């Protein structure tokens, strides 16, 4: 019973982190495309801002791994 609940927790941790990241990357990507279309100097900063929300998924994955092996 406990192993099943841990599996549900792991799935929720990774799944919800992925959904939240996907929802945040859409508007960020649209803003970056608009900014880069106006001025190419924003490209490096834009790539950084697009990659920044992906750290949330990495934290969710680390949390899921900790849940599985504890």
**pTM score:** 0.77
Name the residue with tokens 């970056």: 32
Return the higher-pLDDT residue of 57 and 1: 57
Q: pLDDT tens across 20-62, in order?
A: 999 999 999 999 999 999 999 999 999 999 999 999 999 999 9
Domains of the chain are 1-69 (1.20.20.10)
Alpha carbon distance 61, 15 (integer Å)? 9
Alpha carbon distance 45, 52 (integer Å)? 11
């Amino acid at each position: 019973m406990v192993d099943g609940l841990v599996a549900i927790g792991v799935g929720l941790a990774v799944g919800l982190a992925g959904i939240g990241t996907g929802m945040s990357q859409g508007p960020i990507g649209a803003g970056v495309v608009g900014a880069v279309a106006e001025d190419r100097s924003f490209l490096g900063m834009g790539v950084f801002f697009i990659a920044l929300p992906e750290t949330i998924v990495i934290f969710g994955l680390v949390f899921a791994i900790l849940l599985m092996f504890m």
